[in-house]
Amino acid sequence: MKALNFTLSLFKKYNMDFKLSEAQQDDLHKATIIKVSHQDVQRGHIESYLKKIHSLEKKKKNTVTTLIIIFEGYEDVHLKIFNVPELKQWIRKLYIVKPNLFYYLRNHSDHYVHDILMCLVEANPSFLPTQFKKYANPSLLVHGADAIPTIEKIADKLVQFSIKRKHSSQEIFSIVINFLAATEYEGHVEGNKIRLEY
């Protein structure tokens, strides 16, 4: 429900009308798969991958949620993407150049888009007492309160970019709701609420 309320607040912010449609649109897009080599991740090379994303930008239709980025050489790594420093840096570098990346990303597994988004989230250890900060692992300090502003900022950018791409209100609503679901927005809000109650 919080995802729905936040999406409707974005619609209000941009003076867009919205009426729920009875039929949901099928997501039948073919995915564009970009395989990033282990060597390019380690060296921070994004140039050849930018060309592929740029080709998606040139297309006028059917590019929303069509991109899957696969990192080769990390199949045996049992950490989340955002806990692998070089992957986190590579994704951040790509996002700086392509801030509309999440418009294209397809959630091909349960936590794919969420984990990529978490690469952009900065841990805020301010809630820890000073004497404990030196013992804290920064990757363990990321929680709902840290992720929520990043999710909301990207959702706002998605609305702006979708308007530029001339999507209908129903399409934009679907894009934002799907993004919020993929990034586990409601879970972050609830988790933060529970943490604040203690």
What mean pLDDT is predicted for residues 48-74? 88
Tell me: the pLDDT tens digits for 76-131? 888 889 889 999 999 999 999 999 999 999 988 778 999 999 999 976 655 555 55
User: Residue holding tokens 């936590």?
Assistant: 111
Per-residue model confidence (pLDDT) at position 62: 73
In angstroms, the CA 121 to CA 143 distance is 9
- Percent pLDDT > 90 in the chain is 49
Q: How many helices (H) and strands (E) does the chain have?
A: 10, 2
Question: Residue 129, Cβ neighbours under 10 Å: how many?
Answer: 7
Locate 198 and state its tokens: 């203690």
Instruction: Tell me 24's DSSP state.
Output: P
Q: Is the pLDDT of residue 75 over 70?
A: yes
Inter-residue contact 84 to 116 (CB < 8 Å): no
pTM above the 0.85 mark? no
Query: Residue 178's pLDDT band (boundaries 50, 70, 90)?
Result: very high
Q: Is the pLDDT of residue 48 over 90?
A: yes
On the CB side of 24, CA atoms within 13 Å amount to 7
